A = this chain, B = another copy of it.
Amino acid sequence: MSRQLAQKPTSSRYRVLDTIRRHPNISRVELASLTDFSRAAVTGITQGLLDASLIVETPLADGKEGGRGRPRKMLDINAEAGYVLGIKLSLHQMSFSVTDFTGNVVHTMHLPFRGNQNCDVTLDIIEMGIQRCLKNADIKREKILGVCIGIPGYVSHETGMCHWSPIFTERDIPVARLLQERLGLKIFIENDANLVTLAEHWFGEGRGLSCFAVVTVEHGIGMGLVVDDDLYRGANGIGPELGHSKVEIDGRLCRCGQLGCVEAYASDYAILREADVEFSIDAYNENPKAYHETISKITERARNNDEHLSAVFKNAGKRLGQAVANMIAILNPQTVIFTGDGMRAGEILITPAIEEARRLKLSGDKNETEFITHIWGDEVWARGAAALTLQHIYAEPDEKQNFSSSKITGSTKLKPTKRA
């Protein structure tokens, strides 16, 4: 069991790279004060990173006027130091994205796909998709530092196992190991909501926050949690969940078989059910495309003041707010970020949710939890996949220069043989 990133990494290399990432166009002196390293140490560490081409010296950015004294030499992450392949599995398609070393998406590709198939078939498609994506993006395989796959369901990042997912018919699949054997690339897997959460932390509304929750509203209600600047992964690597907390004991039937889960009130299938649309709970699996179209149609009608439908959305929102209020009452995060496809419904769902969550909040509470809604682009999960992979790359030890090569590399950098 190759433990992946069991501890939050604290190597000097990680700290410096992470600080440069969060403060682009930074000087060594600023780095020293932000990282609490001495200037001397920063010189050494950045030299190593420059040698490895992970960072580059860049001109002083506009607006940062230089005063007196020796001008600062600014540093930045080298976007071309390598690339990350992010893959998202969902029930109706696979998405492939290549991001550069700063987490920017440089190429995206979608493959049609029917989930809930045999594991080998799915892995075949993934493998094929990776080849095609790299070819389309015109990126050499050697430049890929890692592949990260976002999977809905119970996924343990640490062990690389997928314990259960709607994507696979089997349980407990060692996805990371199997793909590593097929491809010879570093493979990471993670729950899809966690990837979104990580993306918010690195690039989105969670920047600078050390304790916040993300609520994703889509086909189901997902959740991610950052605690102490780290993803909360719960026991056995199974992270936090919101969808199956109860908003009404023994209430509506949920697709999990339980009664009263918030998903049974606020997810898209629950909304369809309340809207009296003739879709069964399994309709999504049977024809995801038609399903999505129906959702869009209904959302549009609710927006246009269809009385019944807007009441349905409002009530779904209230129920979501109740679940979120409970989560806040328990965890007291700084901020709750709402995101996901369901945000397309916009105010008709989220405004009632936030109102209800505020209404149920302990009054007189000093530390007000802040609510943010964030309509994500399709590439958010890919940036999360990049962030997760880059965390690992940042944490790797410097690869020592192999001085034994051919050329007599001159004296400049060679240490004089120790002890005269």
Contact = CB atoms under 8 A, between A and B. Distances in A.
Interface of A: 10, 154, 163-164, 210-212, 223, 227-228, 230, 232, 234-236, 238-242, 244-249, 256-258, 322, 325-327, 329-334, 360, 362-363, 366-367, 369
Contacts of A212: 235
A172 B248 CA distance: 37
Contact of A326 (B240, B246, B367): B246
B241 A332 contact: yes
Given A227-B227, A234-B211, A334-B236, A246 B366 contact: no
B330 A223 contact: yes
B235 A334 contact: yes
Count of this chain's copies in the oligomeric assembly: 2
Contact of A360 (B154, B246, B367): B246
Contacts of A245: 326, 329-330
A366 B228 CA distance: 27
A215 to B, nearest CB: 11
A252 to B, nearest CB: 14
B241 A330 contact: yes
A367 B164 CA distance: 12
A246 B331 contact: no
Contact of A234 (B164, B223, B332, B362): B332
A68 B234 CA distance: 44
A238 B362 contact: no
A216 B211 CA distance: 24
- Nearest 9 Cβ contacts at the A-B interface: A235-B334, A234-B332, A245-B329, A245-B326, A236-B367, A211-B235, A244-B329, A238-B332, A244-B362
A152 B159 CA distance: 39
Contacts of A154: 366
